[in-house]
Amino acid sequence: MQYEEAKRLASSADVDARRALAARDDVAPEILFFLCRDQDARVRLAVAANHHAPREADIELARDSDDAVRTRVGEKLGELRPLDLPALSAKKQALTIETIEALAIDNSGRVREAIARALKQSIDAPPHVVQALARDIEVKVAAPILQNSPMLGDHDLVDIMNSGPIKGVLNAIAKRRNVGQGVTELLVNRAIATPGEESAVADLLANETAKIGAGTMHKIIDVAPDYDHWHGPLAARKDLTSDHMRRVASIESDAIAETLSARSDLDDAAMAALSSMVARRMAELTKKREEEAPVVKPAADKFLTTVMKGGKVGPVGAAISLRAGIPTDVTMRILTSKNPKALLALAWKAGLTAAQAQSLQTSVGGISPQTALAPTMSGGYPIAHADMEWQLGLYLGNGA
């Protein structure tokens, strides 16, 4: 844009014209600086968002009376600079730091959050600013830095956790990539000891990169039965030792049963513990089954479906044995028999639908889809009840 035309528009009474000018990338820096002092906040906001605005304008807008304008300056500092802009001179870099410092001590949490998000992955932000933001009294400001900043070390995180509880700080640290064992040990101790902070342990367990020591994991498992929201991520941890796995498998939990049933790395001890837990849980739920309203799918049915999804013979056998009222050893012989009719009869005895019976044959019994007995067109069992009773009698007779 021609300089004289820009000057004319900058002094125009038309706010929309001034705002459009403030957003352009072909306007002289001094014109944009002039517009950063415009009486209309919408014009100043446009300058704040403009990467071509001079750093002198940014520092001016970082002290603007309007929160939205100051926030937008902070957001811009976290955005990629256009490739056509020259590298910042030493003077411009100093102005950038001054702008960052002003935003980091702003009275508005919204503004401080904006600069925290802008700096969260920076490796060359002013260290004192990063430290201050990490210790901000508002977690929405501190969290982006605590969770992401490569400029924080484990000693900083430990110091912050020891400095006093701020709701959400532990959660942010728990989500940090590659957080070390010393940090996770203190975090777990703090979370367990502080009412309302237990969700930080769930976040830590869900963080696959978190380094959790064996002792800390045992401490988590000790109290895990009391915290249902830990169960899924705990059972999914890839760093569980054999002893951890066995202990986790012993906790009566639908989420643990579902997650462990889907894993392929359970050893014999863990599998035995899981099967035993499933049997206990199914016995408990089966007692409640008759008390539940007919319109509600009983919890026992849901649990059995969950366990079947994993396709593991041991846990499925433990659950179906209780539902069918058939000894566990007989149930296991049927499940491993590769006999479609016997498996169908077992499913029928356990009260499964014909569709579930088909799934039992293929996902647990190892029968090919082509060989498995499918439901009838009406969704019923494909063989007569008397025939299924006869099939079960063969196995029950053998087990007598």
Helix, strand, coil distribution of the chain in percent, nearest 5: 65, 0, 35
DSSP conformation letters of 125-186: S-HHHHHHHHT-SSHHHHHHHHHH-TT--HHHHHHHHHT---TTHHHHHHTSTT--HHHHHH
Residue 1, pLDDT score: 83
Least confident of 185-194, 302-311, 321-330: 302-311
Q: Model confidence at 400, in pLDDT bands (50, 70, 90)?
A: very low
What does the pLDDT read at residue 399?
44
Kindly report, residue by residue over 352-380, the tens digit of the pLDDT: 999 999 999 999 999 999 999 999 999 99
Reading the block at residue 371, the tokens are: 């060989």
Contact status, residue 12 vs residue 18, Cβ threshold 8 Å = yes
CA 19 to CA 81: how far, in whole Å?
21
Residue identified by tokens 């035993």 is 276
Confidence of residue 291 (pLDDT cuts 50, 70, 90): low
Say if CB 79 and CB 51 are below 8 A apart: yes
Asked whether 36 and 63 are in contact (CB, 8 A), the reply is no
pLDDT of 290 reads: 56
2-16, 41-55, 59-73, 79-93 — which is least confidently predicted? Answer: 79-93
Give the residue among 242, 241, 244, 273 at the shortest CA–CA distance from 257: 273
What does the pLDDT look like over 102-149, one tens digit per residue?
Answer: 999 999 999 999 999 999 999 999 999 999 999 999 999 999 999 999
Exposed/middle/buried for residue 83 (C-beta within 10 Å: 0-12, 13-18, 19+) = exposed
In single-letter form, the type of residue at position 312 comes to K
Give me the pLDDT at residue 60, please.
Answer: 96
pLDDT at 306: 84
Tell me what percent of the residues of the chain surpass a pLDDT of 70: 97
C-alpha pair distances (Å), 326 with each of 332, 349, 350: 10, 9, 9
- Per-residue pLDDT of 56-90, as tens digits, reads 999 999 999 999 999 999 999 999 888 888 888 99
Q: pTM higher than 0.85 for the full model?
A: no
Tell me: pLDDT of 53 over 50.
yes
**Rounded Cα gap, residues 41 and 18, in angstroms:** 11
